[in-house]
Amino acid sequence: MNDHEKDLGRAAPEENADALAKEVMKQYDKESNKVEHRGFMGKFVSALAITFSVFQLYTAVFGVLDAQLQRAVHLGFGLALVFLLYPTRKSGGELSLHFEDYILSFLGAAAPAYILIEYKELVLRAGTVTSTDYLVGLIGVLLVIEATRRVVGIPMVAVVLLFLSYAFAGPNMPGVLAHRGLTPEQLVGHLFFTTEGIFGIPLGVSSTFIFLFILFGAYLESTGLGRFFIDLANALAGWAAGGPAKVAVLSSGLMGTVSGSSVANVAGTGSFTIPMMKKLGYDKEFAGAVEAAASTGGQLMPPVMGAAAFLMAEFVGVPYIEIVKAAALPAVLYFTGVWLGVHFEAKRKNLRGLPREELPKAMDILRERGHLAIPLVVIVYLLVSGYTPMRAALVAIVLSIAASFLRASTRMKPIQIIEGLENGAKGVLGVLVACASAGIIIGVVTKTGVGLKLASALLDLAGGVMLPTMFFTMITALLLGMGVPTTANYVITSTIAAPALMQMGVPVLASHMFVFYFGIIADVTPPVALAAYAGSAISGGNPLRTGVNASKLAIAAFIIPYIFVLSPVILMIDATPLALIQATVTALLGMVALSSSMIGYLVDDMKLIERVVLFLGGLMMIYPETLTDLTGFVIIAGSFFLQRRRKSARIQ
């Protein structure tokens, strides 16, 4: 980070916040590093993106096409745009298109178009791959991999290539991993001409629900909802101890309801909140860590969960609203943990909030811009009422535009409505490409049966014992999640790691939520902690120390998955009202103990032994059993009174 960036991070007045956010996004979010076209090319790309959005809206209103046709059109638009927006290389230090990018863009549209043109013939000769089919399919697979490299990054490409290599190397693999092997024709046919590869469930969800929710998010961003969340959080929490840090937690949690990227969330809200935290007295590393932990938690927050909620509903085979209900309490516990960590750090350092006279008034903000949140409230209501995600998103898109007209200060201009269509199409490209490449992984898994083989290998390594199996599954999910965006992250971890838990008798939903949590928390887990590195770029702190601090703040995400596997009541699986109340209350008390032990402060500074004892007490409270709850409560209460007495004696 250069001196100019550090100066921006220190000052970050509102006029510089957007510039700082863009710099951080380009550095840590590959999806944001695209060329800005002007002239004829700019108009062409805009027209292509708008047409893409219009197609998606048309099929959402009048009915989607046959699965493979809908997904082929979706992929064709996506690949054509990717190669026009993400060039092969730079010229003179600037991103610019080259001849090969135009060729790849044309091929990106043509390969899926082949499925549209030859659809009837392909259905009639299902299972038979002609030489033309093979050539087109091979081009399609290679284009998806290259698009993944440009938009998502090398980590995802490495995983895809590893699985493709395994498909060919089956006869030479040792032991349980061995299989008969596949010919190139068999593999290409399976990956490109069935709905079990590239055109599988992930791309299917991307071509329906996910696109509409990203378009919804684009319109909300156009109305200024992000700034509304930050101002409202400031009004509600800016005055409290460590106020700006609590603002970061609250605003990031609110933004997480519509955001699909932890890095984007860090850049968007962190460019405002991190400089405020530093000004108050927080260390650079802690300030960056707060924003990283809070923004990563946005991916765990219903109803969108980084678009993974829709995929999880398809994979687990339950209604979407069941995923939202299951994710609600763990998300509350996570943000409670981060909030408490911030609070205890503020108390430990005696960091006060901002003067109330410097803060906006909550009622004024709600009066002036509260109407911008109407679409969010309505979409949650519709989802709970039983509307399909697609229908709910359509209504919310219309409402987000209509709501902006309620006040002149937020009213969208006609050009902004058109730009919303363009931004929505461009915003979906990262998810689209990640879903397509994840389909390659799923295709290899279904064709070779490696998913169950890996699960068996994990079980053998753990000796068939539950806790070691959970530990090795956690490590697998953390490794697979490093540097991979939320949607693809979930697809990979649920395909490779979740079956091990299911073989141990863990409920399917709990197994999927377990790997989802650890895949997501890789964003703040060193050494590859993209959200933490983005936070450190804004704060000017050390990236590794920022990652360590973020991991401490995110302690709930490392513990709660173990709890809902051992006792799924907090996922509302077979939960009675009494059991749910007990689990909620005791888990919240447990988070107080865990967060304070991580920071080293409850009502007074703690010694190491006190922190260890309090940590164990917190674990007992989170695990929903009466005996452990009582034991944990005694430990926490004892620690509280001992520390308060010691502090009182010292003050006297």
| pLDDT tens profile 342-369 | 888 888 888 877 777 778 888 888 888 8
Query: What pLDDT is attached to residue 25?
Result: 64
- Whether 138 is covered by a domain: the verdict is no
Average pLDDT of the residues in 98-102: 90
- Whether 570 is covered by a domain: the verdict is no
Q: Are 243 and 280 in contact (CB under 8 A)?
A: yes
- Angstrom CA distances, 344 to 28, 330, 606, 616, stand at 30, 21, 12, 18
Query: What pLDDT is attached to residue 298?
Result: 81
Question: How many domains does the chain fold into?
Answer: 1
Query: What pLDDT is attached to residue 352?
Result: 77
State the DSSP H helix or E strand holding residue 646, giving kind and residue range, or none if neither: helix 626-651
- Whether 593 is covered by a domain: the verdict is yes
- Whether 211 is covered by a domain: the verdict is no
Q: Are 330 and 560 in contact (CB under 8 A)?
A: yes
CA angle (92, 93, 97) in 5-degree steps: 75
**Those residues with Cβ within 8 angstroms of residue 489's Cβ, 6 or more apart along the chain or in another chain:** 308, 480, 481, 519, 520, 522
Domain that includes residue 615, residue range: 576-652
| Distance (Å, whole) CA 262 – CA 264 | 5
| pLDDT tens profile 147-162 | 999 998 888 899 899 9
pLDDT at 13 over 60: no
- Whether 65 is covered by a domain: the verdict is no
pLDDT band at 2 (very low <50, low <70, confident <90, very high): very low
Query: What pLDDT is attached to residue 652?
Result: 66
| pLDDT tens profile 292-332 | 888 888 888 887 776 778 888 888 988 888 888 888 888 88
Residue 443 identity (one-letter amino acid): G
Average pLDDT of the residues in 563-590: 84
The secondary structure of the chain in percent helix, strand, coil, rounded to multiples of 5, reads: 80, 0, 20
pLDDT at 14 over 90: no
Tokens of 17: 């916040």
Query: What pLDDT is attached to residue 35?
Result: 80
pLDDT band at 4 (very low <50, low <70, confident <90, very high): very low
Query: What pLDDT is attached to residue 259?
Result: 62
| pLDDT tens profile 247-274 | 878 777 777 666 667 777 787 778 878 8
| pLDDT tens profile 44-73 | 999 999 999 999 999 999 999 999 999 999
pLDDT at 84 over 80: yes
Higher pLDDT, 104 or 582: 104
Q: Are 113 and 74 in contact (CB under 8 A)?
A: no
Query: What pLDDT is attached to residue 11?
Result: 40
- Whether 622 is covered by a domain: the verdict is yes
With CA atoms as reference, report the closest residue to 431 among 305, 530, 557.
305
- Whether 98 is covered by a domain: the verdict is no
- Angstrom CA distances, 600 to 103, 340, 543, 589, 648, stand at 59, 12, 22, 16, 18
Query: In DSSP terms, which residues pair with 91 in a beta bridge?
Result: 94
Q: Is 386 left (phi over 0), alpha (psi -120 to 50) or beta?
A: left
- Angstrom CA distances, 637 to 555, 563, 599, 603, stand at 21, 22, 18, 12
- Whether 243 is covered by a domain: the verdict is no
Tokens of 139: 């081009």
pLDDT band at 5 (very low <50, low <70, confident <90, very high): very low
**Cβ atoms within 10 Å, residue 650:** 8
Query: What pLDDT is attached to residue 27?
Result: 65
CA angle (525, 20, 304) in 5-degree steps: 55
**Cβ atoms within 10 Å, residue 258:** 26
| pLDDT tens profile 506-557 | 999 999 999 999 988 888 888 777 888 888 888 888 888 999 989 988 888 8
Higher pLDDT, 164 or 451: 164
